[in-house]
Amino acid sequence: MEFPLVFAVCSTLLLLCSSSAYAQTAKSPSLSPTPTPAPAPAPEYVNLTELLTVAGPFHTFLGYLESTKVIDTFQNQANNTKEGITIFVPKDSAFSSLKKPSLSNLTTDQLKSLILFHGLPRYYSLSDFNSLSQSPVPTFAGGQYTLNFTDASGTVHIGTGWTNTKVSSSVRSTDPVAVYQVDSVLLPEAIFGTDIPPAAAPAPSPEVAPTADTPSGETTKGRSSPTSSPSNSSFRMINWGIWSHLVLALSGVLVLFL
């Protein structure tokens, strides 16, 4: 009896071990791990100082950006936000042609607000301005410092109340930074008020004396005929006087002989 019992126990243990080994073998094969996608490349850093130095000439505007520290605000918006930035940059000639009002009379805060007035806290492509004509668009200066846009056949026009100008070219228009050249300095009503000086009247054109008409041959002939008529009449009268004297002289001679 002991032998069959030992045999049965051994058989049971052997069966359990083989079942465990089979279960481990039958496990599904392990899958290879999914590769982690590579991180998206960081957006290109835009150095506004370098951009405006190479393009342009925008030296005057760049000087105001640096002296008012607005360059730091624009630079941070350009590279550290999702909204991006849009900047309107006047050429040097726009500042040199600005006679009245003069920027030299502005306070430090007013000058800073004027430079902030040239930037929008969001990236706008040229095609986006077509949808901005419904209402004023806020600028970095905030408050009443807003710009009005109209799109005329693809040309973007900008109104400030004091200034009416247009975008003349695109310096850079790659999200998240747009820089557009404008023909005039953007002057806000919030600084200069609503008493806009009238535009200078254009200089009068020099008066040119009308050229005298050259008389034609027919006209000359017609004009000379009245002059020649008295001359011919005088000639005939002289001839008649000579003949009358001759006739009288002959008559006297005949009387003497008769």
What is the Cα–Cα distance from 95 to 241, expressed in whole angstroms?
91
Give percent above pLDDT 90 in the chain. Answer: 50
Length, in residues, of the chain = 258
Mean predicted confidence (pLDDT) in 3-25: 53
For residues 17 and 51, the model is more confident at 51
Contact 161, 172 (CB under 8 A): no
Given a cut of 80, whether residue 225 has pLDDT beyond it is no
Given a cut of 60, whether residue 88 has pLDDT beyond it is yes
Given a cut of 50, whether residue 221 has pLDDT beyond it is no
Q: Please report how many Cα atoms fall inside a 13 Å half-sphere around the Cα of residue 32, on the Cβ side.
A: 2
Cα angle for residues 198, 101, 186 (degrees, 5° grid): 90
Give percent above pLDDT 70 in the chain. Answer: 59
pLDDT of residue 7: 53
Instruction: Kindly report whether the peptide bond that precedes residue 176 is cis, defined as omega within 30 degrees of 0.
Output: yes
Contact 188, 113 (CB under 8 A): yes
Tokens 């008769």 belong to 258
User: Average pLDDT of the chain?
Assistant: 78
User: What DSSP string describes the chain?
Assistant: -HHHHHHHHHHHHHHHHHHHHHHHHTSPPPPPPPPPPPPPPPPPP--HHHHHHHSTT-HHHHHHHHHTTHHHHHHHHHHH-SS-EEEEEE-HHHHHT--SS-GGGS-HHHHHHHHHTTEESS---GGGGGG--SS-EE-TT-TT-EEEEEEETTEEEEE-BS-EEEEEEEEEEETTEEEEEESS---BHHHH-S-PPPPPPPPPPPP-PPPPPPPPHHHHHHHHHHHHHHHHHHHHHHHHHHHHHHHHHHHHHHHHH-
124 band by pLDDT with thresholds 50, 70 and 90: very high
pLDDT of residue 255: 52
Least confident interval from 122-131, 167-176, 220-229: 220-229
Domains of the chain: 48-125+167-188 (2.30.180.10)
For the chain, how long is the longest CA-to-CA vector? Answer: 224
101 band by pLDDT with thresholds 50, 70 and 90: confident
pTM above 0.75, yes or no: no
